[in-house]
Amino acid sequence: MKKVLTIQDISCLGKCSITVALPIISAMGSETVILPTAVLSTHTMFQNFTVKDLTDQLLPITDHWKNQNVKFDAIYTGYLGSQEEIEIAKKVFADFKTQDNLIFIDPVMADNGKLYPAFDENYAKLNAELCGLADVIVPNITEACFMTDTEYKEEYDEAYIKDLLQKLAALGPKVVVLTGVSLSQGKTGFMGLDTKTGEYFSYQNDRVDANFHGTGDIFASVCVGGLMRGDSLEEAMKTAADYTAKTISVTLENPEKPWYGVDFESTIGDLTRA
Ligand code: PXL
């Protein structure tokens, strides 16, 4: 069985980061090992959340794994709590990188033109360096702008997206994929660039006019799960985009009108394949 290490926070309530990565990657057939960067009462879109930083625990945990000769088929990073934790993620890559395992980075730090409360521009610069070590990165447009010193635009054309992809490629990852990209009115999806072949690829779904937290984490987790079960990168991304779009639609039908996360529990069965 494939083994994935995911490094991100535990938001106890909030349906994001580890509380979606763990069930989704497991449902897709891979063992999921967690390295929690912090424990928060909720994700940071709630007011007055609590945070217990776990920076001092990370290397003791990974040193123990190293001593046990543990190997990972993929290392997937999401929300890291601090600049120091970005440095630790680099060390974990150095310690556990092999010839053929996958380094997958979702540089979670911003959305809708703004950094999340815990982060500043220095953090974005360090995240850009981290992305240079990846096989695949999946930033949204806001994160890409912060990492490449590009002006954020709500309205854009394909040339703007291609320019961002080229700037991300210059950071050093093998494949760059921008999420939340709308290439025509009423649509949304992703556009990517394979830096080896120079080829662009894209995929679009109907855009649902709703903004939920955790959907980026769901997209990234399904991509990792798909890659681990042997899907091609484009297949894995398409499955992730379709699954995320369907889950948002299902959530919108919930009469309880959830606001902080999506009802992936209702759709997760779609991801299980014998
Ligand atoms: O879904 C991304 C995410 C992960 N972890 C924490 C967050 C967020 C987004 O707001 O606050 C703690």
Give the domain ranges of the chain. Answer: 3-273
* Ligand 1 and 17: CB distance under 6 A: yes
Please give, one letter per residue, the 3-state secondary structure of 200-256.
EEEEEEECCCCCCCCHHHHHHHHHHHHHHCCCCHHHHHHHHHHHHHHHHHHHHCCCC
Distances (CA, A) of 192 to 58, 65, 203, 235: 32, 34, 9, 13
Instruction: Tell me which CATH homologous superfamily contains domain 3-273.
Output: Ribokinase (3.40.1190.20)
* Ligand 1 and 245: CB distance under 6 A: no
For residue 17, the ligand 1 atom closest to its alpha carbon is: 4
Residue 104 CA, ligand 1 centroid: distance in Å: 17
* Ligand 1 and 108: CB distance under 6 A: yes
* Ligand 1 and 238: CB distance under 6 A: no
* Ligand 1 and 38: CB distance under 6 A: no
pTM over 0.95: yes
Q: Whose CA is nearest to atom 2 of ligand 1?
A: 214
Pocket test of ligand 1: the residue of 116, 142, 218 to mutate, having most ligand atoms within 8 Å of its CB, is 116
To which H or E segment does residue 31 belong? Answer: strand 31-42
* Ligand 1 and 44: CB distance under 6 A: yes
Digit-coded pLDDT (tens) for 217-253: 999 999 999 999 999 999 999 999 999 999 999 999 9
Q: What is the pLDDT along the chain (274 residues), one digit of tens a residue?
A: 999 999 999 999 999 999 999 999 999 999 999 999 999 999 999 999 999 999 999 999 999 999 999 999 999 999 998 999 999 999 999 999 999 999 999 999 999 999 998 899 999 999 999 999 999 999 999 999 999 999 999 999 999 999 999 999 999 999 999 999 999 999 999 999 999 999 999 999 999 888 899 999 999 999 999 999 999 999 999 999 999 999 999 999 999 999 999 999 999 999 996 4
